[in-house]
Structure 1
Amino acid sequence: LIVGAVAIVFVLRWLYLQFRHGSDHAAAPNRVAAAIWGTVAGFTSFVAHVGGPPFQVYALPIRLDPKVLSGTAAIFFAATNALKLIPYFALGQF
C-alpha cells in the first residue's frame, strides 16, 4: 500500500511540476523533503526491500548528473542496508 501511494504521489508531483514550470525545470534540493523521502525510503526498504521509488521521488526531479545520481543512490542504499542490520539482529532475522 505504501509503495503504491508513493508511486501515485510521484506521478502527481511530476504532473504538477510539468504544468507549473515546464519540462526543463529542475527542482532545487530541499533538506526537509530529503529527510521525509529518505525516511520513507528507509522504511519501505526495511519492510519490503523497495526503497527505490521513494528515493527516486526526491532525487529524479533534481536532475542530477547521471554519475552523481548513481553514486548518491549507491551511498544512500549502502548506508540504508547497513542500518537495517541493527533491527534485523534485534528481531532475530539475521
Structure 2
Amino acid sequence: MSVELTATQVLAGFGGFVVLVLAWRAGGRRSRRAADAARGGARLLSLAGRVVVTAGAIVGVQWLVITHGRNTTLVWVVLGLPALFAAYTLTRALTVATHDRRDGRR
C-alpha cells in the first residue's frame, strides 16, 4: 500500500498542524492568565475579609469601653490608638519615596 501526496496536500497538512499547535499554546496561556486573575481576586477577598474582621474587633472593644467604662482616659486610649495605627498606615501608603540620583541610594 502506497500513499502519494502532492506538495499542496503536504503544505496543507503542515499548516493545519501549525494552527493546531498555536491554538493549543494560546489556550494554555489563556488558562494561565485566568488562574492568575482568580488568585489575585482571592487574595483581594481574603484581605477584605481580614480587614472587616479586624475592624469589627476594634469597634467591639470600643463599644464595650464606651458603654461600660467610666474612665475617661481609657476611652481616649481606646479611641486614639486605632486612629494612630490607621494614620501611620495611610501616611506610609501615601508617601512618595524620593531617589537621590547621584549615588543610586534612597
Provide TM-score, normalisation by structure 1: 0.30
Return the structure number with greater relative CO, CA threshold 8 A, min gap 6. Answer: 1
Provide TM-score, normalisation by structure 2: 0.27
